[in-house]
Amino acid sequence: MSVPVYTVSAQPHRDADTVVVLGLTTQGKELALRAPSEYASLRELADSVDASAAAESLTRLPNPDSTRAAVALIGLGTASVTLNALRDAAGSAVRKLAGKPVVEFAFDFASDAEVLATLEGALLGAYSFTRYKGASLDSLKQPAATIHIRTDRQIAASDLARVHEKARAMALVKDLVNTPANDLYPESFATIAEELCASDDSLHITVWDEQKLAKDGFGGILGVGKGSERPPRLVRISYAPQAGSAHIALVGKGITFDTGGLSLKSGPGMMGMKYDMTGAATALGVIRAASALALPITVTAWLCLAENMPSGRATRPNDILTIRGGKTVEVLNTDAEGRLVLADGLMAASEEQPDLIIDIATLTGAATTALGTRTVGVMGNTDEISHLVEVAGTSGENFWHMPLPAELRPLLNSDVADIANVKPGNTAGGMLIAACFLRDFVGNRSAHSDEATEQLPWIHLDIAGTANNGSGPYGFTAGGPTGVSVRALIDYIAGRAGLPSPYASAK
């Protein structure tokens, strides 16, 4: 639930509590150690215990002296080790060594980026969520509370801080997502955001309750939230440092639980729908990191919070909602609710004329059909998409640029309103159609008389496939929430502030 303490120094952290993790690679048919020279003699031992250099394979070596640190070997694959291999190796080692309070990594690092990637993977792999463990807590092995990286490299404090804030932001997202919907609902989510902003002088928060939402015309958020006993909220958080030149708005889908509403999901289809607020949690984690890192750029986060429930007061199919700014939407399927709350959020964000709007949403099951569970779908109306996709790659994330085909928009024509929220019966291109819907709610750049009307630059991230790891753990990722897109967004925003990723120049 919190990020481990970490140290980086040339000194080994040797006491009986520590496990020292060394790297193991293959060179041809031979095993090779990726470790300081004092450990060279362990190579033969590694052979004799049949240690494997396969990625993420952990071998604990017999410890001849109980007063000294134990040693374990982690497989790094072939000798040309990538930064992602280091992140995953470190993360899986920390996961597999749960119960050991201190884990030291001594990989004989070849670059500063290797040190940072190893630290990053270790901090991420140490995440666990035990808030709801009662009687079984005592028997749980906790991941390391201290990570030590042994290197004589001098790593820039700002690079270490970047890695640490990414890990903190991802832990915050995972904590919020893991919290069940009986405890995390729009009002309690907004309170958490208020508390977080109260402890950071650089973050300023405004919360719309249901009365204020009605007064200000947020018909999408109100329409989705209507069926629930727990009223919706819109949260705006501003980070506006004096040095901030560019302005980036983050708009997060925050459905604290998605039953589908009256277009009710099936029992199995509803499983995991507490995850449907991941976009809002991501916006919150990222803006907190921007502030903690004092990035010289203005960021505004919009959290669109509602619980999508069926009831006698719920929005019905064929109801028409009026979104902020006056456009009307015929709701043909109440389960396509994310786009309704985001429509309000995008309109509100647009009014401030930011330089770029990025929305983050667990928007469509179709995202999984198209791209699987480890690749984020990226859509939008700006060339900046290719820049964001590239930055994500250097951050260690998989983003993929998907099209917004113009012929899809007419599928959403409504007989009675400006647009419908779905094309009933349509199953093709669901992720793209959702994005086409959102595009209608991206505002224009305030018209200058001599310029043609132009939409504000906007990027949409569909993280429905990637927000939750429903399979076994791998690398630094445990089962459950993944924190996807947090690292990419922090590096992208920092880059726009003139502070490129420390990984950008590395191999």
Query: Which positions are catalytic?
Result: 265, 339
* DSSP assignment letter at 153: S
Is 236 within 8 Å of 347 (Cβ atoms)?
no
Structure tokens at 220: 């999408």
Q: How far is the CB of 430 from ligand BES (least distance, A)?
A: 6
CA of residue 384 relative to chain centroid, distance: 19
Q: Which one of 56, 175, 210, 258 is in contact with Zn ion (CB under 5 A)? A: 258
* Complex with ligand BES: residue 154 or 427, whichever CB lies closer: 427
Contact between 491 and Zn ion per CB under 5 A? no
Looking at 228-351, list the stretches that DSSP marks H as alpha helix, in order from N- to C-terminal side. 267-270, 278-292, 338-351
Coil, strand or helix: which one is 19? strand
Contact between 469 and ligand BES per CB under 6 A? no
Q: How far is the CB of 310 from ligand BES (least distance, A)?
A: 13
Contact between 88 and Zn ion per CB under 5 A? no
Q: Which stretch binds ligand BES (CB under 6 A): 55-63, 236-244, 361-369, 396-404?
A: 361-369
| DSSP states along 40-82 | TTHHHHHHHTT---STT-EEEPP-S-TTS-EEEEEEEEESS--
CA of residue 141 relative to chain centroid, distance: 26
Is 255 within 8 Å of 224 (Cβ atoms)?
yes
Coil, strand or helix: which one is 21? strand
Pick from ligand BES, Zn ion, none: which does 122 bind, CB < 5 to 8 A by kind? Answer: none
Q: Which stretch binds ligand BES (CB under 6 A): 5-13, 138-146, 364-372, 397-405?
A: 364-372
Packing angle between helix 157-178 and helix 112-125, nearest 10 degrees?
20
Q: Which one of 276, 359, 397, 491 is in contact with Zn ion (CB under 5 A)? A: 276
Interatomic CA distance for residues 97 and 103, integer angstroms: 8
**β-bridge mates for residue 104, sequence order:** 20, 148
Contact between 366 and ligand BES per CB under 6 A? yes
Interatomic CA distance for residues 26 and 9, integer angstroms: 27
Residues that bind ligand BES (rule: CB under 6 A) add up to a total of 14
Written as one letter, the residue type at 286 is: V
Q: Which one of 52, 328, 333, 369 is in contact with ligand BES (CB under 6 A)? A: 333
* Complex with ligand BES: residue 263 or 501, whichever CB lies closer: 263
Which helix (H) or strand (E) is 387 found in, with range? Answer: helix 384-395
Is 356 within 8 Å of 458 (Cβ atoms)?
yes
* Complex with Zn ion: residue 255 or 497, whichever CB lies closer: 255
CA of residue 168 relative to chain centroid, distance: 11
Contact between 258 and ligand BES per CB under 6 A? yes
Contact between 337 and ligand BES per CB under 6 A? yes
Q: Which one of 186, 338, 377, 380 is in contact with Zn ion (CB under 5 A)? A: 338
Q: Which residue is nearest to ligand BES (CB)?
A: 365
Contact between 56 and ligand BES per CB under 6 A? no
Q: Which one of 276, 330, 397, 491 is in contact with ligand BES (CB under 6 A)? A: 276
Binding mask 418-457 for ligand BES (x = CB under 6 A): ----x-------x---------------------------
Which burial class, exposed, middle or buried, applies to 203 when counting CB atoms under 10 A from its CB (0-12, 13-18, 19+)?
buried
Contact between 307 and Zn ion per CB under 5 A? no
Q: Which stretch binds ligand BES (CB under 6 A): 19-27, 84-92, 94-102, 333-341?
A: 333-341
| DSSP states along 462-473 | E-TTTSEE-S--
Contact between 362 and ligand BES per CB under 6 A? yes
* Complex with ligand BES: residue 302 or 492, whichever CB lies closer: 302
Interatomic CA distance for residues 229 and 38, integer angstroms: 64
Q: Which stretch binds ligand BES (CB under 6 A): 87-95, 134-142, 284-292, 357-365?
A: 357-365
- Residues near ligand BES (CB under 6 A) are 258, 276, 333, 335-338, 362, 364-366, 422, 430, 464
- Residues near Zn ion (CB under 5 A) are 255, 258, 276, 335, 337-338
